[in-house]
Amino acid sequence: MSSLYFALIFLVLFLGLGSQMMIKRAYKKWKKNQIGFGVSGADAARTMLNTGGLNHVTIIEVGGELSDHFDPRTNTVALSGDVYHGRTVSAIAIACHESGHALQHARGYVPAKVRGAIVPVASIASNLWVFVLIAGIVLSLFELIYVAIALFAAVLIFQLVTLPVEFDASKRARDFIQQSGWLNQKEYGGAKAVLRSAAFTYVAAALASILQLLYLLSAARR
């Protein structure tokens, strides 16, 4: 294998592991910071949703850490235990971020609609492209190799569409938190740090995929 390949592997791993360490570090740091107001993550999410006219959106508790998400199929904001019950900077930031996704869905935010439309294709492509690539190499069928690259490109497109969706949800969260008055200046800075580090994980994933796609195209031409 070429030195370029090993350099690419190292860079992809660095981006992936580095971004995960960054979000966990920011989350754990501000998870220890109890806010002055007696507001939990669930309270913050409920207030933000109700303020936006989304009283019908359900908030539930789920297991795991950083497993928080919004499910547009059931109009449900799912919060991990530490976020649901936590009265910390991290809990408020993450709960409001997921509520931001609910607001995007309700307001018909175009990037979110596009992302939702291509989820099935991206899911199939992400699970299939490696097997198609291996089959193309083993069988020496260049057509299959290019099909694999096209499938991987579909995954990259999904990641790129995800970026504005995540950035917008974080902006909605920041704006609401600032208006709420729950956090002092230092705590608000911590909330922004948590949201910024979470967004970086998506940027790192997209950059890693771009590098990988460029390498695949280069290798296919050779």
The answer on pLDDT for 1 being more than 60 is: no
pLDDT on residue 211 = 85
pLDDT on residue 96 = 98
Among the options 61, 65, 98, 143, which is catalytic?
98
pLDDT in tens, 106-138: 999 999 999 999 999 999 999 999 999 999 999
Q: Are 18 and 205 in contact (CB under 8 A)?
A: no
Length of the chain measured in residues: 222
- The pTM is what? 0.88
61 is catalytic: no
Confidence of residue 219 (pLDDT cuts 50, 70, 90): confident
pLDDT in tens, 193-206: 999 998 888 988 89
How many other CB atoms are found less than 10 A from the CB of residue 174?
19
The answer on pLDDT for 70 being more than 80 is: yes
Percent of the chain clearing pLDDT 70 (strictly above) = 94
